[in-house]
């Protein structure tokens, strides 16, 4: 979900581009300075990834007013089971394409930013790719952050919600939960996967009282059918007690170069961004369900 993509509309900023992250945000944090582990034996590396002391990440960066409240250190983990047609970070699809990073190294960095997090009411966000592809690694980061008193957030599709243990969720303050469509068939067309696990994960979060920001990417001709939008709203209503905001994120053409560079078939090449009217009428649907909408 590379920090060095200079085609990104950093100047346009704002919530509308959030789902483009991190391409839309240029902080240059990247993975510079993190210990490289290319000399570790493969088997040892796999064992350490299983126990979570080592993870595979795309990059990390410091951002403000995206990925949760305040200033955040967002870590983009590699690996995702979905193949969203509008994905702007297809270079995070595969875990093997990421950089190996020690959990302890990331935790040391988080510790350094504690003052920033405190002053801005921010914290850390684990994003991707899909954070729940590496539950042991994510669990260590979340536990370590909580022990330092840092606000924690995960950004997920929920498809792998079953990978999140109750112990892990005890260390999560906020979930940015993507509801990529409300209609089963549309969800499958958008992501290549099923909708049900997302609903089950949201239900679990609601039962545990964990705050959710629900997110929906509006793509003309793909997700903008009024019935689909209404169904998204109805799904989010299930979690009303914990949903503090709904974000409608307008599709933009941002990831084309990455899809091409990877030799993948990008299907939305000719799709325009949604009109401001369509964005507003979509937000209005969620408002009519009583939600605070961004």
Residue choice 24, 66, 77, 80 for contact with ligand SF4 (CB under 6 A) = 80
Nearer to ligand SF4 by Cβ, of 87 and 243: the residue is: 87
Residue choice 129, 139, 158, 274 for contact with ligand SF4 (CB under 6 A) = 129
Segment 248 to 267, residues that bind ligand SF4, using CB under 6 A: none
Nearer to ligand SF4 by Cβ, of 107 and 134: the residue is: 134
Residue 112 near ligand SF4 by CB under 6 A: no
Return the range that interacts with ligand SF4 (CB under 6 A); candidates 45-53, 76-84, 198-206, 225-233.
76-84
Residue 89 near ligand SF4 by CB under 6 A: yes
Shortest Cβ distance from residue 88 to ligand SF4 (Å)? 7
Q: Under a CB-based contact definition with an 8 Å cutoff, are residues 291 and 236 in contact?
A: yes
The β-bridge relationship of strands 123-128 and 99-102 is: unpaired
Q: What's the chain's length in residues?
A: 294
Nearer to ligand SF4 by Cβ, of 194 and 288: the residue is: 194
Residue 17 near ligand SF4 by CB under 6 A: no
Q: Under a CB-based contact definition with an 8 Å cutoff, are residues 151 and 69 in contact?
A: yes
| Secondary structure of 82-94 in HEC code, one letter for each residue | CCCCCCCCHHHCC
Exposure pattern of 266-277 as b/e (b: 16+ CB <10 Å)?
bebeebeebeee
Residue 92 near ligand SF4 by CB under 6 A: yes
Residue 285 near ligand SF4 by CB under 6 A: no
Residue 128 near ligand SF4 by CB under 6 A: yes
Residue 73 near ligand SF4 by CB under 6 A: no
Give CA separation, 271 vs 86, 255, 276, in Å. 10, 12, 15
User: DSSP of 81-135, one letter per residue?
Assistant: S---TT-S-GGGS-GGGSEEEEHHHHHHHHHHTHHHHHHHT-EEEEEES-GGGSH
Residue 83 near ligand SF4 by CB under 6 A: yes
Q: Which residues bind ligand SF4 (CB under 6 A)?
A: 1, 80, 82-84, 87, 89, 92, 128-130, 157
């Amino acid at each position: 979900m590379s920090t060095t993509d200079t085609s990104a509309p950093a100047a346009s900023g704002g919530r509308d581009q959030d789902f483009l992250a991190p391409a839309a945000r240029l902080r240059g944090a990247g993975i510079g300075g993190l210990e490289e582990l290319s000399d570790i034996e493969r088997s040892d590396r796999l064992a350490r990834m299983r126990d979570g002391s080592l993870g595979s990440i795309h990059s990390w960066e410091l951002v403000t007013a995206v990925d949760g409240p305040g200033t955040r250190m967002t870590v983009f983990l590699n690996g995702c089971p979905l193949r969203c047609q509008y994905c702007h970070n297809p270079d995070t699809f595969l875990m093997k394409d990421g950089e190996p990073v020690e959990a302890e190294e990331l935790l040391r960095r988080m510790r350094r930013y504690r003052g920033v997090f405190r002053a801005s009411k921010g914290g850390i966000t684990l994003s991707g790719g899909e954070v729940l592809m590496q539950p042991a690694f994510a669990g260590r980061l979340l536990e370590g952050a909580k022990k330092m008193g840092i606000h924690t957030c995960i950004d997920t599709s929920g498809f792998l919600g079953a990978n999140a243990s109750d112990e892990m969720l005890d260390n999560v303050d906020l979930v940015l939960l993507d509801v990529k469509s409300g209609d089963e068939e549309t969800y499958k067309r958008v992501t290549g996967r099923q909708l049900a696990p997302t609903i089950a994960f949201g239900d679990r979060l609601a039962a545990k009282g964990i705050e959710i920001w629900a997110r929906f990417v509006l793509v003309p001709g793909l997700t903008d059918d009024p019935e689909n939008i209404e169904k998204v709203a109805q799904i989010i209503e299930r979690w009303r007690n914990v949903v503090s905001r709904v974000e409608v994120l307008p599709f933009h053409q941002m990831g084309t170069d990455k899809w091409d560079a990877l030799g993948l078939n990008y299907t939305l090449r000719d799709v325009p961004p949604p009109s401001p009217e369509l964005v507003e009428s979509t937000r209005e649907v969620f408002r009519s369900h009583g939600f605070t909408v961004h």
